[in-house]
């Protein structure tokens, strides 16, 4: 079979392509079919005079998303989508599609989510899934090259590891089981057998809030390393993110373009060192005059931008009346861009005062909220790793520093408002301390006996972290919501399709 992605190898040859109608247009004795075959898009031109009557009939019977087979000659054409055009000699229809619900006009996101099984065929969704695939492959490549062993942790578990409020409970014969919130505890056991391991699997959290960063079912990559301390853990996370981004920039340029992704910050992330600071320093920065001033300056800049955009809009709308057809289309496109940007500015201007207040009044000991992360990250265009967190707000398994007040945890925050993409830590490796933690947290020691064994039989310093796949995909693709980063998202209020 020949696929659209390989047309460059078949220039001036006759090929047969099997796929679907992405877009359809006819004018007199010509039919233009934008065809997709899963691997890409290409324009096919059918001229009435060049094909037999049944092929012409087939071509004129087509509708959006009809399935078809096309034979034709590949011609190089830089103006055409994908850079090639097919001069068609034959058309065979498999099925003429019914009225396709997703038309080129704009649709609301609820409607698109209800039609997710079809929406996956649209260009931007297609591009995002290709990038997700590249990220997955890059992660495996990164770890495999470094001698990590991929091991699977169970999905049914008997114990909570990341707090009891987000557990999904199920019946397990006569017993209770939970869907895994993390594979980490099992990862620790596997690291004591293999040294360097990573898990790559689905995890579940009963998140009862609807945010753009939370799913109830998401995929997590969790490396766990024997004899690694917090610094080595941070270095590994940084290297991994750089490797993922370099691969995507190198191999998925076309998809990033479809998504209209500005890659400036990604390029910096791939090449420049990440910022690192302690929680204490992060809090000081959040509360600083400098941050307040930065937010004021930002508000001022946004207001000015809004004025400029409104002026531009007025001028081009005036011009539109007497403009040529191509210029009208250009103006309409720009007007759309302007109103999207103005909506964003208005939202920022609504948010800035509360961001400013929440940053200024942040209390040491609290967890960083979404808006605090956003404010903190406004000053950086590479990721920031925040370490040494107040122990009370971090998980029981984290090792503490000499003061016993701070947990040796690390959160990696992505720039451009994407927030926390990694959570990790050095693990507590002392049996007695771990027993105390379990007691303090009022966890059932019985179900953790096996985990305590890891501290009884050859305990060593060790560390690990979890990378959220969907948040990573959202960040790299520049998508504002994680619902578009996984084929069939599961969120509160969404179980179908």
Residue ranges binding Mg ion (CB under 5 A): 423
* Residues in binding contact with ligand 4AD, number by CB under 6 A: 23
CB 244 within 8 A of CB 251: no
Q: Which is nearer to Mg ion, 42 or 181 (CB)?
A: 181
Residue among 20, 22, 84, 218 that touches ligand 4AD (CB under 6 A): 218
Residue among 19, 82, 383, 468 that touches ligand 4AD (CB under 6 A): 468
Q: Which is nearer to ligand 4AD, 56 or 418 (CB)?
A: 418
Residue among 37, 85, 90, 222 that touches ligand 4AD (CB under 6 A): 222
Q: Which is nearer to Mg ion, 82 or 423 (CB)?
A: 423
Shortest separation between residue 456's beta carbon and ligand 4AD, angstroms: 21
Q: Does 471 bind ligand 4AD (CB under 6 A)?
A: yes
Q: Which residue is nearest to Mg ion (CB)?
A: 423
Q: Does 415 bind ligand 4AD (CB under 6 A)?
A: no
Q: Which is nearer to ligand 4AD, 44 or 197 (CB)?
A: 197
Q: Does 470 bind ligand 4AD (CB under 6 A)?
A: yes
Give the interface segment with ligand 4AD, choosing from 254-262, 378-386, 432-440, 468-476 (CB under 6 A).
Answer: 468-476
Tokens of 53: 């009557």
How far apart CA 200 and CA 496 sit, in angstroms, is 24
How far apart CA 335 and CA 309 sit, in angstroms, is 9
Q: Which is nearer to Mg ion, 223 or 423 (CB)?
A: 423
Q: Which is nearer to ligand 4AD, 134 or 411 (CB)?
A: 411
Residue 162 binds which entry of ligand 4AD, Mg ion, none, CB below 5-8 Å type-dependent: ligand 4AD
Of 441, 494, 485, 397, the closest CA to residue 128 belongs to 485
Judged by DSSP in three states, 159 sits in: coil
Residue 485 binds which entry of ligand 4AD, Mg ion, none, CB below 5-8 Å type-dependent: none
Give the interface segment with ligand 4AD, choosing from 2-10, 48-56, 231-239, 422-430 (CB under 6 A).
Answer: 422-430
The helix (H) or strand (E) run that includes residue 320 is helix 289-320
Residue among 34, 37, 90, 162 that touches ligand 4AD (CB under 6 A): 162
Rg (Cα) of the chain, in Å, rounded? 27
Judged by DSSP in three states, 404 sits in: coil
Q: 56-62: which pairs have CB atoms within 8 A and are 24 or more residues apart? A: 56/91, 58/91, 58/92, 58/93, 59/31, 59/33, 59/88, 59/91, 60/26, 60/31, 61/93, 61/96, 62/21, 62/24, 62/31, 62/33, 62/91, 62/93, 62/96
Q: Which is nearer to ligand 4AD, 162 or 255 (CB)?
A: 162
**What residues from 183 to 202 belong to the interface with ligand 4AD (CB under 6 A)?**
184
Q: Which is nearer to ligand 4AD, 286 or 412 (CB)?
A: 412
CB 44 within 8 A of CB 68: no
Say how many residues make up the chain: 497
Tell how strand 156-157 and strand 175-179 pair up.
antiparallel
The helix (H) or strand (E) run that includes residue 105 is none
How far apart CA 52 and CA 40 sit, in angstroms, is 27
CB 276 within 8 A of CB 385: yes
The sign of the CA dihedral 328, 333, 339, 341 is negative
Shortest separation between residue 464's beta carbon and ligand 4AD, angstroms: 5
Residue among 462, 466, 473, 485 that touches ligand 4AD (CB under 6 A): 466
Residue 282 binds which entry of Mg ion, ligand 4AD, none, CB below 5-8 Å type-dependent: none
- Count of C-beta atoms within a 10 Å radius of residue 404: 9
Q: Which positions lie near ligand 4AD, rule CB under 6 A?
A: 162, 182, 184, 205, 207, 214-215, 218, 220, 222, 420-425, 464-466, 468, 470-471, 482
């Amino acid at each position: 079979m020949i696929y659209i992605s390989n047309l460059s190898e078949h220039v001036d040859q006759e090929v047969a392509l099997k796929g679907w109608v992405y877009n359809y247009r006819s004018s007199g004795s010509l039919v233009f079919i934008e065809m997709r075959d899963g691997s890409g898009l290409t324009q096919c031109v059918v001229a009435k005079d060049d094909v037999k009557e049944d092929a012409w009939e087939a071509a004129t019977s087509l509708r959006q998303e009809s399935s078809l087979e096309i034979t034709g000659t590949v011609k190089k054409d830089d103006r055409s989508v994908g850079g090639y055009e097919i001069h068609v000699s034959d058309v065979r229809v498999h099925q003429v599609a019914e009225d396709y619900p997703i038309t080129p006009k704009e649709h609301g996101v609820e409607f698109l989510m209800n039609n997710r099984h079809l929406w996956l065929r649209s260009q931007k969704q297609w591009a995002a899934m290709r990038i997700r695939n590249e990220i997955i492959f890059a992660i495996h490549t990164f770890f495999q090259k470094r001698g990590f062993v991929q091991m699977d942790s169970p999905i049914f578990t008997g114990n909570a590891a990341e707090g009891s409020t987000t557990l999904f409970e199920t019946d397990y014969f006569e017993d209770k089981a939970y869907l895994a919130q993390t594979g980490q505890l099992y990862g620790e056991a596997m690291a004591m057998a293999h040294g360097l391991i990573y898990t790559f699997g689905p995890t579940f959290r009963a998140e009862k809030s609807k945010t753009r960063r939370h799913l109830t079912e998401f995929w997590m990559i969790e490396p766990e390393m024997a004899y690694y301390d917090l610094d080595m853990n941070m270095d590994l996370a940084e290297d991994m993110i750089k490797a993922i981004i370099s691969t995507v920039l190198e191999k998925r340029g076309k998809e990033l373009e479809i998504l209209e992704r500005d890659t400036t910050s990604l390029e910096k992330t791939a090449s420049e060192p990440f910022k690192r600071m302690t929680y204490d320093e992060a809090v000081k920065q959040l509360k600083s005059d400098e941050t307040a001033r930065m937010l004021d300056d930002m508000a001022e800049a946004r207001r000015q931008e809004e004025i400029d955009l409104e002026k531009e809009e007025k001028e081009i709308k005036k011009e539109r009346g007497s403009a040529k057809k191509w210029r009208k289309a250009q103006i309409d496109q720009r007007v759309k861009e302007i109103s999207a940007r103005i909506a964003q500015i208005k939202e920022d201007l609504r948010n800035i005062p509360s961001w400013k207040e929440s940053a200024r009044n942040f209390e040491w000991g609290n967890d960083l909220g979404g808006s605090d992360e956003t404010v903190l990250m406004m000053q950086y265009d590479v990721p920031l790793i925040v370490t040494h967190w107040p122990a009370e707000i971090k998980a029981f398994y984290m090792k503490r520093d000499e003061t016993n007040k701070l947990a040796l945890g690390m959160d990696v925050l992505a720039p451009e408002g994407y927030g926390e993409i990694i959570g990790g830590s050095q693990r507590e490796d002392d049996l007695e301390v771990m027993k105390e933690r379990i007691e303090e947290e009022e966890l059932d020691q019985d179900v953790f006996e096996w985990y305590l064994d890891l501290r009884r039989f050859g305990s060593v310093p060790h560390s690990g972290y979890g990378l959220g796949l969907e948040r990573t995909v959202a960040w790299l693709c520049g998508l504002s919501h994680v619902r578009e980063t996984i084929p069939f998202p599961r969120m509160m209020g969404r179980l179908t399709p």
